[in-house]
Amino acid sequence: MCVDAENTENNFNDENELGDTDKEEMVIHKRVHVIKRDEGWAIKKEGASRATRIYKSKREAVEGAREFKKSGYDVVIHNEDGSIQRWEKSKKKKTLPTPSYKKAYENAFGKKSSNRY
């Protein structure tokens, strides 16, 4: 069986989304941002094209964003100018199982793959 190395590497090596792929499970880094908008303060999931919710005050937006921490999201709170004021890490980690092609490689060759083909 031939594996398209370029597509495989692109799918599993996105540093913004996935952690170290040599571990048994991969950690997904999910973030929600509190950002200033014309109509107030918005909560926006990283990678989303639209805000999840808009609040009148920054305090309300931060409280709303902290609800996402319970689901494993990091909360990134921005100043009005867009700079990062505070980054609150979630204690709960989201994980994905190791991709099956990696397990097949390990079974066939008795060692972990390096993700470089």
Closest of 90, 61, 50 to residue 73, by C-alpha: 90
Per-residue pLDDT, averaged over 103-112, amounts to 67
In a domain, 80, yes or no: yes
pLDDT band at 100 (very low <50, low <70, confident <90, very high): low
Q: Does residue 70 belong to any structural domain of this protein? A: yes
pLDDT at 40 over 60: yes
DSSP letter at 111? S
- Per-residue pLDDT, averaged over 74-92, amounts to 91
- Tokens 């902290």 sit at which residue? 66
Tell me whether residue 77 is in a domain: yes
2 in a structural domain: no
Is 45 contained in some domain?
Answer: yes
Please state the rounded mean pLDDT for residues 4-31. 49
- Find the domain containing 34 and state its range: 17-109
The whole-number average pLDDT for the span 49-73 is: 94
Q: Looking at the domain assignment, is residue 34 inside a domain? A: yes
Say if 74 falls within a structural domain. Answer: yes
Contacts of 36 (CB under 8 A, 6+ apart): 42, 58, 78, 79, 80, 82
Into how many domains does the chain fold? 1
